[in-house]
Amino acid sequence: MTDMNDRPTDLALRYVEGELDAQELARFEKAHLSDPELRAEVDAARQVIRGLKSMGEEDLRGRLREADAELSSRAKTALLRSRNPWWRWAAAAVLVLGAGLWWTQRDTPQRLAAEFALEERGLPVLMGADSRMDEIMNAYKQGDLATTEQLIEQARATSPGNDTLAYFAGMVAMRQGLHTLAVKELVQVDASSVFAERAGYQLAIASLNRGDVTAARILLDALTQSRDPQLAVRARDLLDRL
């Protein structure tokens, strides 16, 4: 096993990953010129990282090929269906029946909000430096909303602009069915926050519960570009139903 005080390896890695500060970099580059051991360490680090990145590219290539196979299979199924006349009549019959059924059981904003609700399970309890947040998460996970609310209020007295607290205050309000309050809390989550996209989605759900379909559409439309593919797909599916 490697000794973690292995300085040349440590330095070489930090150099290759671009993590040295200006002073360290200048010292390192000077030493690098005259120290063959250090040069070998840099080569080793570069090769291993290159190897890992190649594996990453192979993984991505595999996913793109899978996507290709999926799309081709869908296209073939669609083609077969389009060539089958009885299927068209059956589809027409289903459409007529479906239209009747839709009229009686059509999607209302509230029904869609319930169907597309995204459960927020809470953050991992780390038993670490932030015991205040651990307490909040414990209460939240146990469904003790009154205590969660109280603890969040106490925490906010010392950290008024905290995004995590605003997000979970919004989630507590959502769970209590207080959708207007949820909107007020969730809009406080800053766009740069790690919770920004999830808060955006929850805002859309809260807006639907309030019957504000326009606001929900705008929020969901932005989320279709989310870096979280599951959230993007969910937003797109919900938009399709609106």
Partner 1 sequence: MVFSFRIAQTADHAWYRALYVEHRAAFVNWAVKHFDAREEEARDAFQEAVIVLHRKVGEGGLDDLKCSLRTYLFAVGRNQLLSRMRVVNRQVEIDEAFHGIPDECLVTKDMDEQERQATAELVRQRLSELKPDDRRVLELYYLEGREMDAVAEVMGLKNRNVAKKKKHFALQRLIALVRPAKLLKV
Q: Please name the helix (run of DSSP H) or strand (run of DSSP E) that holds residue 85, with its range, or none.
A: helix 85-105
CA atoms within 13 A on the CB side of 39: 7
Whose structure tokens read 């993007």?
232
Number of shown-chain residues binding partner 1 (CB under 8 A):
44
Cβ proximity to partner 1, 25 vs 44, nearer residue: 44
Q: Does 141 bind partner 1 (CB under 8 A)?
A: no
What are the CB-based long-range contacts (under 8 Å, 24+) for 120-123?
A: 120/168, 120/171, 120/198, 120/202, 122/168, 123/164
Name which position in 24, 29, 30, 50 contacts partner 1 (CB under 8 A): 50
Q: Among 22, 26, 23, 28, which residue's Cα sits nearest to residue 8?
A: 28
Task: State how far the Cα of 85 lies from the Cα of 106, in Å rounded to an integer.
Answer: 29
* Nearest distance in Å: CB 207, partner 1: 22
User: Contacts with partner 1 in 147-186 (CB under 8 A)?
Assistant: none
Binding mask 193-222 for partner 1 (x = CB under 8 A): -x----------------------------
Q: Does 227 bind partner 1 (CB under 8 A)?
A: yes
Token digits for 72? Answer: 């081709």
Task: State how far the Cα of 94 lies from the Cα of 105, in Å rounded to an integer.
Answer: 15
Cβ proximity to partner 1, 95 vs 118, nearer residue: 118
Q: Does 241 bind partner 1 (CB under 8 A)?
A: no
* Nearest distance in Å: CB 12, partner 1: 9
Measured from the Cβ of residue 17, the count of other Cβ atoms closer than 10 Å reads: 10
Q: Does 60 bind partner 1 (CB under 8 A)?
A: yes
Q: Stretches 84-92, 98-106, 124-132, 140-148: which one binds partner 1 (CB under 8 A)?
A: 124-132
Token digits for 215? Answer: 């606001």
Give residues in contact with partner 1 (CB under 8 A). 1-2, 4, 6, 9-10, 13-14, 17, 40, 43-45, 47-61, 63-68, 71, 124, 126, 128-129, 194, 225, 227, 229, 232
